[in-house]
Structure 1
Amino acid sequence: MQRTINNKTVLALSIAAMFASTAQAQDSSATEGGTATVVVTGTRVANRSALDTAAAVDIISADTLKNTGTTEMNQALSVALPSLNFPRPSLTDGTDTIRPATLRGMAPDQTLVLVNSKRRHSSALVNLNGSVGRGSAAVDMNTIPTAIVKNIEVLRDGAAAQYGSDAIAGVINLRLRTDRSGGEGSVTYGARITEYDLWNDVPPSGGTWSGPASRERTDGQSTTVSAWKGLPLGESGYLTIAAEYKDQAKTERGGYDMRQQYPKLANGAFDPRENTINRFNAWYGDPEMQQTTLFANAGNDLGNGMKAYGWASYQKREARSAGYFRPAQDARNIQAIYPDGFLPIIAPTVDDFSMTGGLTWSLGSWDIDTSLGYGKNKMRFEIQNTLNRSIGPSSKTEFDAGGFSYDQLVFNLTGVRTLDVAGLSSPLNIAVGTEVRREGYELFAGEPDSYRYGGQVLANGTPAAPGAQVFPGFRPANEIDTHRTAAGAFVDLEANITPQLLASVAVRAEHYSDFGNSLAGKLAGRYDFSKIFALRGSVQNGFRAPSPQQQNFTSTSTNFINGVPFEITTFKPTDPVAVALGAQPLDAEKSVNVSLGGVLRFDRISLTVDAYRIKIRDRIVLSENLTQANVRNYIASQGFVGVGGGRFFINGVNTTTDGVDIVMNWPVNAGAAGRFDTTLAANFNSTEVTKTPVTAQLAALTPAPVLFDRANIIAIEEGQPKNKFSANVNWKLGQFGATFRATRYGKTMTPGTTAAFDFPLAARTIVDLEGRYALTPKLTLALGADNLFDQYPETLPPALNTTGNTPFSNYSPFGRSGRFVYARANYAF
């Protein structure tokens, strides 16, 4: 259904929407009655339960989030949902600090994140390095504290026709607490207590220093203090506030550095310091982090059927992670500054703010909801323990490298009503609405010493590279401050055609000021053969608009090639150099989603099986680094002197994803043995890249550069687990409680430069265990361990870990930090 539309279509739907409203998450309270939990995501019909919808919806309760060893939202969701993965890469610059999650094997930015059914702003960071999600700019869900969340609804189905851009893989809707009283405080302390192997086979050859075979570590100490409190506003209003402070020490999973560290002595002998230096010189693991978060959610009855609601949040995150270690003899080092070499540190500061307010009221038969929301994410980089080699011994060792910000202003006017229609078995639920969005992106430069060339040359006469080592600062030429607008409108209809047959249809039109128009539609249905068995399915097309980050991110570094300086740039797609290489303004990604599933209910046991196919064309990807000699020559022939190539975002990758989700819930009251709530789940997922981008300009060169090479194809096809199984059992008996969780991650592949260097990662099962005891009715103590049996992915072979510094792959779906042992105290107010 994707086709060109005109502005009159959008305007007409927008005018129609002035008389309508969406189902409001603020007033739709979840009903905990076995499996009959009411949902608001994926349907705009009031009082629809999770097992009665036409699409798969998972519900993650506040207790599920609480009874884990982590306070990271992404990590808590990854162990609760089989189709959601949260890899934790390292040595990936800003991605170490803002790590994205993925749903159904899609890119992180192909899942829409809502808070109380309103669109959440994304992070300013676009992931550029070789990790899962390369090229995406996603919502940072770790800016939302688990303490403020009542439950989370995850729609595992495309929903662009209902919610707009980004909802290709599905929708995650975080519903906030609406308490007028009560509260809870929590203190969690834990640490990594672990041992890991350093070598897959034998240490790399070439050095004379033999390292140990394994290493014991106790690190990653983490303290989290959080609390929420419900307060009354008037006779019926509420104000729920939450605060969280987190102090996390780093984890270090580097290997034994087998390289020669110092220049040889004049007589040709090794420097004696080679035998005494600490060769565990890397920082390969989780970042060091201090994080403070505040969140408030409020609502009140204004009388005459009108209600006001709103929420606001703020988070400040200060993090530190590392680049690659530079030995003392490294040409990039200045021994007068760092006689033993140096480990450069990337230290981002992230400020995240959001505020949303709205009103609901009745207008005749319509329930009206209007809201205005604003969110901003800003990331500034400080580079520490480093130097600008081109400046020489007078170089600073800390630099302000600049940064970027993204902000979003969203206006919604929506509404819902029911209408009795002859021939239908239920009233027709009509929802229409409009959304107007303004998005801004700013990139600001660092201080001059963070990027400038100071004129120094190396011992071999080659000019030294300019800029701060590991992360050269953004230059004034990179600066940008831009915005775009988008306006959309939708119509959503749902009704029972017969008592057994539920049908829904949705159409959404959107206009973007930068790339044009989009039209998306969805048809979904469900047939209940009996109270025990139902079939459900949907077919739809969708889209994801190119993000302002993808359209406007740019950075430049100077590389010397045979003594000649060349500017290597991440170009905007509209930059004249990128256009000369064949780049075009980015267009929306288009998708077609088909799903078919079944629902089985036996007393209190429920089983859902949902198969899906997601075909995406014109996926937006970041190209390879195009720095070959023939590329440089071609650029020069087009009149761009001194440009050494670079990379840019481009449409053109087509993929097909097939998968199946299986979820079974089985609550059992075993009398004297207690209550057992069991969830068994599985996801099977396979993605195939069916097309890669080419441009006529580059195809004409000999040899023709590849825009999207095999390593990036493998990352899409095999960089995430082919399957994932989970078993979760919660037990409660009187004052005692426990949670047992086992998650089996299927095999993945670490892509190499050639097939000979591809490295498969075998399946691993991670077991988590927590025990709880209610010391008093208000005070509960818990002890637990995540990754109880201290599982790690295989260590990389010497050919892929030539320095010894990086023994594990960034494509491990469960990270590589080992066992986490923790204690927690919860006190109810």
Structure 2
Amino acid sequence: MRSTMLATFLAGTALATPAHAQTAPSGTAERQLEQDAPDTTGDDPSTEVVVTGSRIAGRTIADSPVPVDVIGGEQLTNAGQTELNRVLTQQVPSFNFPQPSLTDGTDSTRPATLRGLAPDQTLVLVNGRRRHQAALLNLNGSVGRGSGAVDLNQIIPIAIDRIEVLRDGASSLYGSDAIAGVVNIQLSRREGVRANVTYGRNETRMDDVDQVTGVATGANGLPVVAVAGGGNGANDLLQLTTTGRDRKRSDGATTTVAASIGLPVGEDAHLVFSGQFRDRQPTDRSGPDPRRQYFVGDPRELSVDRYNHRYGDGEVQDYNLFANAGYQLGAVELYAFGSLGVRDGDGAGFFRRPNDARNRDFAASTTTFVPFYPDGFLPFIESEIEDYSIAAGARTTLGGWNADLSAVYGTNRQNFAVRSSFNTSLGGVASPRRFDAGGIAFGQVVANLDVSRTFEVGFLDQMGVAVGFEYRDENFRIFAGEPASYVNGPFTANGAPGGAQVFPGFRPSNEVDVSRDSYAAYVELSADVSDRLSFQAAGRYERYSDFGDTMNGKLAGRFELFEGAALRGSISTGFRAPSLQQQFFNATSTNNVNGVLIDIRTAPVSDAVSVALGSQPLDPERALNLGGGVTLNPVPGFTVTADYYNIRIRDRIVLTENLQGAAVNALLLANGITGVSSARFFVNGVDTRTEGVDVVATYRVPDLGVGNFRLTAGFNYNEQRITDRATLPSLPGLVLFARQESFRITNGQPRSKILLAADYDRGPVSATVRTNRYGSVFVAGTSTNPAVPIGAGPADYFLEPKWITDAEVRIRPVRALELAVGADNIFDVYPTRAPAGGAFGNNNFFLPYSSLSPFGFNGRFHYARLGVEL
């Protein structure tokens, strides 16, 4: 499969390989330059031309009526982390990338957010073309639960010329998903050879997590029980002995090898190949488990390893290739670009103790507890992700009009396997230890025709017109796993759960293969009334085969008060189409309740179970974006922008709670459905309002004779509220979206974030220091009532604000060679330790840090990098 993907990728990019170069007409060459505008390092970055936020080329950052951040490729590679999401969260104040663990497939495909909204409410473009989403839906306890996202970590920093982040609603220009904004990744056209090797690892002490030496014993030589669990003692908490110091860890060794080769194919052509291999070993930030592991009296209780979980980054091997090519053939520029990525990753589940009923081998005895794994087991979910994309197009100038015709195909497939596990219902003789659990896939085809032109109009300085058409086809599939991964075996009658533990496989009844298409047309007008006043207007009509049509529009303007100071503002409507995954994802797990097999379903909205409970076909999310701000450029090299935003979203799509209870059972039985006691599905469940402020300042310090300094500061304040909630008329007393998930939307990300950075260079020496302050995050406890105020529920707690500081020093002994050393989180800061015991539960003993931490919980990361440039 992988060799076929690679052959397809190379064949597609070879079609654009130039044989020789020709001279381009000036209009086409200018458009090409604007489309792939290089990163500039001049004194005034506000003069950079940006291609995001308007289909009419030629706007600079300073002229743009909407906020656009530009991050150069050098900024992306001058870091220890080589995942794009981690780099962006260090560079963009309103970008958030928590790194959850114990979240199944999300451990390998982690989502990011912009302006606190859902991951799928930010549109991602590559070279101005829509990038396909990952197949995965985030269904567990992470930021972005219930949503999918583009896997930005498949896009490698060395392949990027620059990234433009549009922080404004743009559905009228780009279609679905662009509610929070747009991330446009411009691939490199740079000639020459660049390569680097980065190696790093975590060297850290876990804040407030004890290093355990054993179990305290009484005079009788038995473990001392700190908290009695009752019954047979299986739920006892034991008293542990410690060194009195925090646990020390050295792990997460990461090796990244990256290279980019730009071939010398002439002035009017480019051909760049980029590749990266990354090997990351896992990290473990678990705490000691004080629970009794064996039955009372077992001497192994005194010597068992109390660090029995793996909580942190999973093990990952990434293989990525990119190509970017263009060739001028007379009056037509042909171009193509594409990517191929393979990721092998794993994530751990919860440890099953030796005395856990899920570890019982009924094949050995149905009357006496015999463990299948004598010392318990830690199951793992393995993810094999295959991701590729190929795009091709042609640009030309016809009668003064710039025309661009393109097509893009992209797909993402994630196959799941489970290892070190057990299907208890099959018994130890028949159950495998490794299971093929099936998989999911998403594919997308997009075709675009864009034409634009600028006119000289008598009473205007300039007017631009752009018109475009788009066709999009999407497909989503679920593949069943092997029978042992989902089957309910003969010992279900004895109370044994069916399916592979940690991730039951997809069943044949879960398989789907669904598609939809859409057609869109847009128009944009841009007018410079004078050198001080400009306007932008855009409208887009789009029709989807599954839910109908939508119309969206935008108005934006900029007025220069005086030289170096301007006001800008925008108002727009937006939408996000319900994804195929949200409409058709289908999974089943089985529990044995009093000897009766009960299916717990994640059901499509059209499924009989969902319909019986009152589901409705999903409508698109609809948004109203308001924004306004000021730009200041008082002296050369110093730029400040401050922008307010207000985003109101109606019919936001969320995943319900597990709907269960007597009323649910009665309704299902009344509709002839038996064997299901709990179900969840997607609904247009809440309306939200998001308000905030973005402030970004950059200053290139005048030459003081000691080297060049560039200072950057950024601030984001973001407040999100749920303004309305949906109910099911068929179940009027049931809470569809409970307290924990509600607060994950409104308070599960930092309300404020501060970014400060300084870059320095003088001759062969350069350095970067940056620090980010992440504001408070609220972790909601066990109460299900959404009316309980923040902080008032049992087991509520807050993650305190934290400063995370990174530093890197570089030296270039010769032009072609660069050496760098640095540390991320140099002061080894951790999020607030989760309280444990009592109302907070026992899990927090061994899972000491919340997955909502906006900077993860791996501690200090040291690294070194060797770079070569020819």
Q: What are the equivalent positions in structure 2 for 1:452-491 lying under 5 Å apart?
A: 452-457=487-492, 462-491=494-523
Equivalent residue letter for 1:66: T
Q: Aligned pair in 2 of structure 1 residues 620, 200: CA closer, same or farther (>3 Å)?
A: farther
1:414 match: 450
1:667 maps to 2:700: yes
Query: Matches of 1:204 and 1:366 in 2, distance apart?
Result: 79
1:653 aligns with 2:682: no
The question of 1:196 aligning with 2:206 is answered yes
Q: Quick one: structure 1 residues 802 and 683, their matched pair in 2 at CA, closer, same or farther if it must change by over 3 Å?
A: same
2:329 to 292, 302, 317: 302
CA distance in 2, matches of 1:539, 1:21: 33
Structure 2: segments with no counterpart, 5+ residues: 1-27, 213-224, 228-235, 361-369, 784-792
576-585 or 507-516, which moves further after superposition? Answer: 576-585
Q: 540, 553, 556: which is aligned to 1:524?
A: 556
Instruction: Work out the CA distance in 2 between the residues paired with 1:25 and 1:168.
Output: 28
Where in structure 1 are there 5+ consecutive unaligned residues? 1-19, 265-269
Q: Distance in 2 between matches of 1:201 and 1:106?
A: 38
Q: Secondary structure at the match of 1:580?
A: helix
- Per-residue CA distance 1:538-580 (angstroms, 9 max, x = gap): 0011000001111111101111222211111001011121011
Q: Deviations over 1:211-262 (max 9, x none)?
A: 5352000000000000001013356211101010000000000010111111
In structure 2, the partner of 1:561 is: 593
Corresponding position of 1:50:
61
* 2:152 maps to 1:141: yes
Cα offsets for 1:702-747 (capped at 9, x unmatched): xx22100111111011000000001010000111111000100000
| SS of residue matched to 2:425 | coil
Q: How many residues align?
A: 795
For 1:736-747, what aligned pairs fall within 5 Å after superposition?
736-747=765-776
Confirm or deny that 1:758 pairs with 2:799. no
Which residue in the other structure is 1:65 paired with? Answer: 76
Tell me what 1:9 maps to: none
Aligned counterpart for 1:802 among listed residues 835, 839, 842: 842
Correspondent of 1:786 among 821, 824, 830: 824
- Whether 2:820 is the aligned partner of 1:820: answer no
Q: Per the alignment, do residues 324 and 333 of structure 1 end up closer, same or farther by CA in structure 2, a change over 3 Å counting?
A: same
Residue 208 of structure 1 aligns with an amino acid whose one-letter code is L
Q: Secondary structure at the match of 1:348?
A: strand
Aligned to 2:23: none
Answer yes or no: is the 8 Å Cα contact 1:115–1:174 preserved in 2.
yes
Structure 1 segment 678-689 matched on structure 2, within 5 A: 678-689=711-722
Distance 1:327 1:23 in 2: 63
1:360 to 371, 375, 395: 395
Higher mean alpha-carbon deviation, 558-567 vs 652-661, is at 558-567
The one of 312, 315, 330 equivalent to 1:285 is 312
Is 2:34–2:58's contact at 8 Å kept on the other side of the alignment? no
Q: How far apart are residue 633 of structure 1 and its match?
A: 2.3
| Distance in structure 1 (CA, Å) of the matches to 2:598 and 2:841 | 29
2:302 is the counterpart of 1:275 = yes
Is the Cα contact below 8 Å between 1:23 and 1:415 reproduced in 2? no
Q: Which has the higher contact order (CA 8 A, sep 6+)?
A: 1
TM normalised by structure 2 equals 0.90
Does structure 2 conserve the Cα–Cα contact (< 8 Å) formed by 1:523 and 1:539? yes
What amino acid is aligned across from residue 361 of structure 1 in structure 2?
T
Partner of 1:583: 615
Q: Answer yes or no: is the 8 Å Cα contact 1:21–1:413 preserved in 2.
A: no
Q: Distance in 2 between matches of 1:358 and 1:233?
A: 19
| Structure 2 CA distance for aligned equivalents of residues 532 and 801 of structure 1 | 57
Mapped to 2, the partners of 1:477 and 1:195 lie a distance apart of 48
**Conserved? CA contact 1:30–1:39, under 8 Å:** no
Q: What does 1:203-242 align with in structure 2 at a 5 Å threshold?
A: 205=227, 206-212=236-242, 214-233=246-265, 236-242=268-274
Note if contact 1:281-1:343 (Cα within 8 Å) is conserved in structure 2.
Answer: yes
Q: Residue 798 of structure 1 aligns to a residue in which SS?
A: coil
Other-structure match for 2:122: 111
The equivalent residue for 2:18 is: none
Q: 1:30: how far off?
A: 3.2
> TM-score of the superposition, structure 1-length normalised?
0.94
Q: Distance in 2 between matches of 1:231 and 1:429?
A: 36
Q: Which amino acid counterpart does residue 197 of structure 1 have in structure 2?
A: D
Q: 1:341 aligns with which of 376, 391, 395?
A: 376
Structural RMSD (CA): 1.8
Task: Measure, in 2, the Cα distance between the counterparts of 1:541 and 1:147.
Answer: 35
**How many angstroms apart in 2 are the aligned matches of 1:336 and 1:25?**
67
Q: Structure 1 residue 385: deviation in Å?
A: 0.2
The answer on whether the counterparts of 1:617 and 1:652 sit within 8 Å (CA) in structure 2 is: no
Correspondence 1:385 to 2:420:
yes
Q: Secondary structure at the match of 1:48?
A: coil
Question: Alignment partner of 2:846: what SS?
Answer: coil
Q: Is the 8 A contact 2:53 2:166 kept in 1?
A: yes
**SS of 2:141 mapped into structure 1:** coil
Q: Which residue of the other structure, out of 539, 544, 563, is the alignment partner of 1:512?
A: 544
Give the alignment of 1:237-276 within 5 angstroms. Answer: 237-264=269-296, 270-276=297-303
Write the letter of the residue equivalent to 1:521: G
Q: Is the 8 A contact 1:209 1:275 kept in 2?
A: no
Contact 2:55–2:173, Cα closer than 8 Å, also in 1? no
3-state SS of 1:232 partner: coil
Q: Is the 8 A contact 1:250 1:288 kept in 2?
A: yes
The residue that corresponds to 1:93 in the other structure is 104
The residue that corresponds to 1:405 in the other structure is: 441
Conserved in 1, the CA contact under 8 Å of 2:226 and 2:238?
A: no
1:567-609 deviations in Å (ceiling 9; x for gaps): 1100101112101111111110000000010000022211000
Q: What amino acid maps onto 1:612 in structure 2?
A: Y
Q: Would you say the 8 A contact 2:781–2:795 is kept in 1? A: yes
Match of 2:646 in 1: 613
| 1:183 CA drift (Å) | 1.9
Q: What residue identity is the alignment partner of 1:610?
A: D
1:30 aligned to 2:38? yes
Q: Give the aligned partner of residue 774 of structure 1.
A: 812
Q: State the identity %.
A: 45
1:445-478: CA deviations, max 9, x gaps? 0000000011215xxx742110000100000000
How far is the alpha carbon of 1:421 from its aligned partner?
Answer: 2.5
Structure 1 pair 216–586 and aligned structure 2 pair: CA distance change class (3 A): same
Aligned to 2:356: 330
Q: Does the residue aligned with 1:332 lie in a helix, a strand or coil?
A: helix
Judge conservation of contact 1:540–1:593 (CA < 8 Å) in 2.
yes
Shift of residue 336, structure 1, vs aligned partner: 5.0
Measured in 2, the distance between the counterparts of 1:691 and 1:471 equals 34
Cα separation, 2, equivalents of 1:312 and 1:235? 22
Measure, in 2, the Cα distance between the counterparts of 1:150 and 1:522: 29
Aligned partners of 1:204 and 1:802 also within 8 Å: no
The answer on whether the counterparts of 1:21 and 1:414 sit within 8 Å (CA) in structure 2 is: no
Deviation (angstroms), 1:45: 3.2
Q: What code does the residue aligned with 1:762 have?
A: E
Specify whether residues 514 and 455 from structure 1 end up closer, same or farther in structure 2 by C-alpha distance, changes over 3 A only.
Answer: same
Instruction: Tell me the CA shift for residue 63 of structure 1.
Output: 1.0
Distance (whole Å) between structure 1 residues aligned to residue 607 and residue 226 of structure 2? 43
**SS at structure 2 position matched to 1:49:** coil
SS in structure 1 of the partner of residue 832 of structure 2 = coil
Which residue number in structure 2 is paired with residue 13 of structure 1? Answer: none
Q: Find 1:626's aligned residue among 648, 659, 663.
A: 659
Q: How big is each residue's C-alpha offset from its partner over 1:368-407, in whole Å with a ceiling of 9 and x where there is no partner?
A: 1000100000000010000100000121100000010000
What is the distance in 2 between the residues matched to 1:22 and 1:198? 58
| Contact kept? 1:201, 1:797, Cα under 8 Å | no
8 Å CA contact 2:354, 2:371 repeated in 1: no
